[in-house]
C-alpha cells in the first residue's frame, strides 16, 4: 500500500522525488513530537510530588547495662508535624568498627523522642594503645504518615558528653594494661584475721 505523506508548509502531496529530503525532516519532527509529549505528561497531574525529608535530631546516651553489651542509645527526636517510622539505623563512628544496619520498625509521634539501642562494634586502638574517635553520624531509613516512600536520611549525631570518646579511651587503656602487666596467683595462701574479719593472703 502506498503511503501518502503531507507536507505541513504547503499542504500538497509529496512526489517520489521529495520523499528522501522530507523523510529526514519527518524523523526530526516525530522525535520532537515525542519529546513534547513526554514533557507535557511530566508536567501534568500524573507526576507525584516527593515530600521533603522529615526533620529529625539524634543524641548519644547510655543506659545502665549498655556498657557491658557494647551499645549506646540513639535518642531520636521527631521535629516534624507527622508520625515518622524508623525502619533501620546504622551508627558510624570513626574509631569503632561499627555493627552494621540494625532493623527497628519504631514509630515516633510528632514532637516526641524514642531511644533506639544501637551496638557500636569494637573499639579500634592505634599502635600506641590510644583511641582516636571522630564525629559520629547515623543513617536511618524512614517513612512518614503522609509519604509511605522509604528514604535514607543521614544525621550528624551530637555527643555533648563525649560518651563515645570516653568509652574508647577506657577500652584502649584496659587493653594496654593487660598487655603490659601479667598477673599470676601464688601456690600458697593462708587466712588472716579472726572470725568474720578474715582475708586470704598470698602472693601474686
- Of 151 and 160, the structure prediction assigns the larger pLDDT to 151
Q: Please report where in the chains the cell 536511618 appears, as a residue.
A: 140
Q: Are 105 and 56 within 8 A, CB to CB?
A: no
Task: Lowest mean pLDDT of 109-113, 122-126, 155-159, name the range.
Answer: 155-159
Q: What separation in angstroms does the CA of 184 have from each of 4, 174, 178, 202?
A: 103, 17, 12, 11
DSSP structure class, residue 18: G
Strands (E), 13-132: 56-61, 71-78, 84-92, 102-108, 113-119
For the chain, give the mean pLDDT: 76
Fold of 56-180: Immunoglobulin-like (2.60.40)
Q: How confident is the model at residue 24 (pLDDT cuts 50, 70, 90)?
A: low
Instruction: Collapse the DSSP code of 188 into the 3-class scheme (helix H, G, I; strand E, B; otherwise coil) and give the result.
Output: coil
Q: How confident is the model at residue 68 (pLDDT cuts 50, 70, 90)?
A: confident
% the chain with pLDDT above 70: 63
> Domain segments of the chain: what residues?
1-45, 56-180
Over residues 156-201, the pLDDT tens digits come to 877 778 899 999 999 999 888 887 765 566 666 666 666 655 555 5
How much is the average pLDDT of 40-52?
51
Adjacency order of strands within the sheet including 137-144: 102-108, 84-92, 137-144, 151-156
User: Residue 6 pLDDT > 50, yes or no?
Assistant: no
The C-alpha atoms of residue 139 and residue 32 are separated, in whole angstroms, by 43
Number of Cβ within 10 Å of residue 59's Cβ equals 17
Amino acid at each position: 500500500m502506498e503511503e501518502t505523506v503531507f507536507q505541513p508548509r504547503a499542504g500538497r502531496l509529496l512526489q517520489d522525488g521529495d520523499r528522501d529530503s522530507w523523510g529526514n525532516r519527518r524523523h526530526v519532527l516525530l522525535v520532537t513530537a515525542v519529546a513534547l509529549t513526554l514533557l507535557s505528561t511530566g508536567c501534568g497531574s500524573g507526576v507525584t510530588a516527593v515530600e521533603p525529608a522529615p526533620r529529625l535530631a539524634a543524641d548519644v546516651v547510655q543506659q545502665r547495662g549498655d556498657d557491658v553489651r557494647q551499645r549506646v542509645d540513639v535518642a531520636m527526636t521527631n521535629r516534624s508535624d507527622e508520625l515518622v517510622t524508623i525502619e533501620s539505623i546504622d551508627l558510624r563512628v570513626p574509631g569503632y568498627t561499627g555493627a552494621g544496619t540494625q532493623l527497628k520498625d519504631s514509630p515516633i509521634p510528632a514532637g516526641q523522642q524514642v531511644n533506639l539501642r544501637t551496638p557500636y562494634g569494637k573499639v579500634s586502638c592505634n599502635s600506641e594503645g590510644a583511641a582516636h574517635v571522630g564525629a559520629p553520624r547515623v543513617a536511618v531509613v524512614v517513612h512518614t504518615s503522609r509519604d509511605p516512600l522509604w528514604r535514607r536520611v543521614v544525621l550528624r549525631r551530637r555527643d555533648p558528653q563525649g560518651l563515645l570518646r570516653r568509652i574508647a579511651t577506657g577500652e584502649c587503656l584496659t587493653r594496654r594494661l593487660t598487655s603490659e602487666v601479667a598477673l599470676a596467683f601464688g601456690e600458697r595462701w593462708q587466712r588472716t584475721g579472726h572470725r568474720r574479719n578474715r582475708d586470704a593472703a598470698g602472693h601474686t
